[in-house]
Amino acid sequence: MWSKHNLTAISVVIYIILTSMSNVNAQQTYAVERYMDAVFPVTVDYDIPLAQMILNGKYSSVSPDIKAENFPIVGSGKVNVNIELVYLRDRHRYINMAFDDILLSLNLNNYRPITLPEILAFDTAYPYEKCQRITILAMGSSLKSWDGDEQVIWLNGGWSLGNSHLKLIRTNHGFRGYTVIAVVRKSSEDN
């Protein structure tokens, strides 16, 4: 026989399950704020091999998975882009923001995340910026890990020139609200 308390508990569990299921596909958007009040003009030379682009950055360490076979260069010639550094703001500064929510927020604010060749060109042109002890994400280039998780480029500035790291970071745990993301304004070609 079901008691009144058992039925109440079951009702609560069913309500929680149904409520959580209704939010499965809901995406959160965040305000996009500029991290620095600067625009960084960069010329990306797509004719330089990826290995040479990486050598130009003089990194202390590079993820072994960041190589041409995993990140083929798309494009040719020299292309000028204006890179901005932004972060996403939410009233809860330390929440983890989902990768798809970040991409949606950038898109709604007319930005696109930069790619691996773009972050490498930025880092070569502005080596001092990587010494600010910040992590800069280039979410426009990604790689699936062995277990299917998405990974994006992670440029970690060192304490001095010549002490920085070019890595991959998994997106499945989300990102904090103070994470700096390198972006460019979307053009009509990006839409």
Tens-digit pLDDT profile for residues 82-130: 999 887 665 555 556 777 888 888 888 889 999 999 999 998 888 765 5
* 95-122 burial: b if 16+ Cβ within 10 Å, else e: eebbbebbbebbeebebbbbbbbbbbbb
Measured CA to CA, the distance from residue 123 to residue 162 in angstroms comes to: 12
Q: Which amino acid is at 34?
A: R
The pTM score is 0.76
SS3 call for 8:
helix
Quote the radius of gyration of the chain (alpha carbons, Å).
20
Measured CA to CA, the distance from residue 181 to residue 163 in angstroms comes to: 20
Read off the tokens for 80: 């000028």
Cα atoms in the 13 Å half-sphere on the side-chain side of 190: 15
Tens-digit pLDDT profile for residues 138-158: 889 999 888 888 889 888 876
* Closest to 118 in 3D by CA, of 143, 99, 140, 133: 140
Any idea where the domains of the chain sit in the sequence?
Answer: 29-185
Q: Which residue has the higher pLDDT, 149 or 53?
A: 53
